[in-house]
Amino acid sequence: MRVIVTGATGLLGKYLVARDETGIEFHGISRSDQKASAKNDYLFHQIDVTDRVNLFRALDEIDPQVIIHTAAEGAVDAVEGKADLYRNLNVAVSSNLATYSYARDIQYVFVSSNAVFQGSGLAYSDDSGHSPLNDYGRLKAEAENEVVSMNKDALIVRPILMYGWPHSGRRLNPVVSWIESLRAGRSISVVDDVWTEPLEVWDCADAIWRAIAARATGGINISGGVRMTLHELEMLVGEVFDLDTRKNQAISFEGHTGLTPRPGDTSCG
């Protein structure tokens, strides 16, 4: 079975293509200029996914049975106020792949985000309606709607805050960023009024593979299952890695100036 993972050099992409599985030929797609290291020897393709013609040509040559689409601009603050700039990458590509996969009976997995929810404090189900607070969430919600309209058999997964070890030089997730800061002896301030259910990225990858094996369709929320504030998570990270957190501060989200609004609590039901 041939499987394509877009955004293969990103955090989730790294763990998706690193799966040890006999009988699967992995193809990673990224606009990066070189293949990032992985546990297994997957086939790497440097492709700009926003170039529809070249992307579809590559897909025709690979002839996959499964497409897992993770590629997107995931920096919330970078997207805010620039939705039109990122709509092609974060929405149109998702829609194009949905159309392509449906026409060829290819299993399609679109990786969305918990940012499609506003974070009301009520537990969100797989079928909860969209209510995004920021442009990143609005683009993800728009992409979900496009995917559903183009491919009724698509699987849409919405991971909550993921953490894990990224490839060298790639964007850090909060947990790794905290570890680096604490190891350098820097004090950090983390909000205590935003709740999450932190998700190990390798568990997210495993959940996606299980859903693929089950031929699941529709929307699925994925979380780590334990609700805590970001400050509680940061303190737990310090404990696990034996790092000094005595100088760290718990602050409100409003205490962080210049940040894009985030959902307060997108815990799953």
107 φ/ψ angles, rounded to the nearest 5 degrees: -65, 130
Can you say whether the dihedral through the CA atoms of 268, 193, 10, 59 is positive or negative? positive
Same domain, 213 and 234: no
Longest C-alpha distance within the chain, in Å? 57
Same domain, 206 and 186: no
Q: Is residue 267 part of a domain?
A: no
Q: Is residue 134 part of a domain?
A: yes
Same domain, 32 and 131: yes
Same domain, 98 and 153: yes
pTM: 0.94
Predicted pLDDT of residue 257: 63
Cα separation values, 17 from 112, 127, 183, Å: 18, 28, 30
Same domain, 213 and 86: yes
Q: Is residue 176 part of a domain?
A: yes
Same domain, 40 and 90: yes
Q: Are 45 and 55 in contact (CB under 8 A)?
A: no
Same domain, 28 and 105: yes
Same domain, 187 and 157: no
Count of domains observed in the chain = 2
- 132: containing domain: 2-162+200-222
Task: Say which CATH number the domain at 30 has.
Answer: 3.40.50.720
pLDDT 10s digit of each residue in the chain, 269 long?
999 999 999 999 999 998 877 789 999 999 886 666 555 678 999 999 999 999 999 999 999 999 999 999 999 999 999 999 999 999 999 999 999 999 999 999 999 999 999 988 778 999 999 999 999 999 999 999 999 999 999 999 999 999 999 988 888 999 999 999 999 999 899 999 999 999 999 999 999 999 999 999 999 999 999 999 999 999 999 999 999 998 889 988 876 667 788 889 999 86
Q: Is residue 261 part of a domain?
A: no
Same domain, 233 and 180: yes
Q: Is residue 265 part of a domain?
A: no
Same domain, 42 and 30: yes
Tokens of 159: 């991971």
Q: Is residue 264 part of a domain?
A: no
34 Cα distance to chain centroid: 21
Cα separation values, 237 from 21, 163, 165, Å: 31, 11, 14
Q: Is residue 109 part of a domain?
A: yes
Q: Is residue 54 part of a domain?
A: yes
Same domain, 112 and 231: no
What beta strand segments (E) does the chain contain?
2-6, 25-30, 43-46, 66-69, 107-111, 155-159, 162-163, 189-191, 195-196, 199-200, 218-222, 228-229, 249-251
The HSE-up count of residue 4 (CA atoms within 13 Å, CB side) is 27
Q: Are 66 and 248 in contact (CB under 8 A)?
A: no
Same domain, 119 and 232: no
